[in-house]
């Protein structure tokens, strides 16, 4: 998939509107994913508390949204820009790529509930 200059501009403009809420969005989105897709909990079994809003969930939610910020910054070359993150999850954490598919839905749902973006 290739993004046009207009697509990239839209992504950057949207991100600028939500970046100040990114940590909250990440925590809520990860919490939602762990509840709606419980099979994803296996990757976080080392956490003492997997409950929505727990400290590890909030911390990783912020980390994930940091990755989104990185992707927006590297939008002109996502493949190269996110290679290290991709390899880390594939080879170190051994995350099944199928488990990445549910996550984008969660921030979209959380963002849609914000009263004004």
The CA distances from residue 25 to 18, 28, 65, 85, in Å, are 9, 5, 8, 20
Quickly list H helices, 54-99.
55-73, 78-81, 83-87
pLDDT in tens, the chain (117 residues): 689 999 999 999 999 999 999 999 999 999 999 999 999 899 999 999 999 999 999 999 999 999 999 999 999 999 999 899 889 989 998 888 777 787 888 888 989 888 665
pLDDT at 101: 81
Secondary structure letter of residue 93 according to DSSP: S
Cα-atom radius of gyration of the chain, to the nearest Å? 15
Question: CA-CA distance, 46 to 15, in Å (whole number)?
Answer: 31
pLDDT at 116: 62
């Amino acid at each position: 998939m290739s993004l046009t200059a207009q697509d990239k501009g839209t992504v950057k403009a949207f991100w600028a509107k939500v970046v100040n809420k990114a940590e909250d969005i990440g925590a809520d989105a990860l919490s939602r994913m762990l509840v709606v897709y419980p099979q994803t909990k296996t990757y976080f079994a080392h956490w003492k508390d997997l409950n929505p809003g727990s400290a590890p969930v909030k911390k990783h939610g912020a980390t994930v949204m940091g990755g989104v910020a990185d992707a927006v910054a590297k939008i002109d070359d996502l493949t190269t820009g996110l290679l290290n993150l991709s390899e880390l999850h594939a080879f170190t954490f051994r995350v099944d790529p199928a488990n990445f598919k549910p996550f984008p839905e969660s921030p979209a749902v959380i963002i849609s509930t914000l009263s004004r973006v």
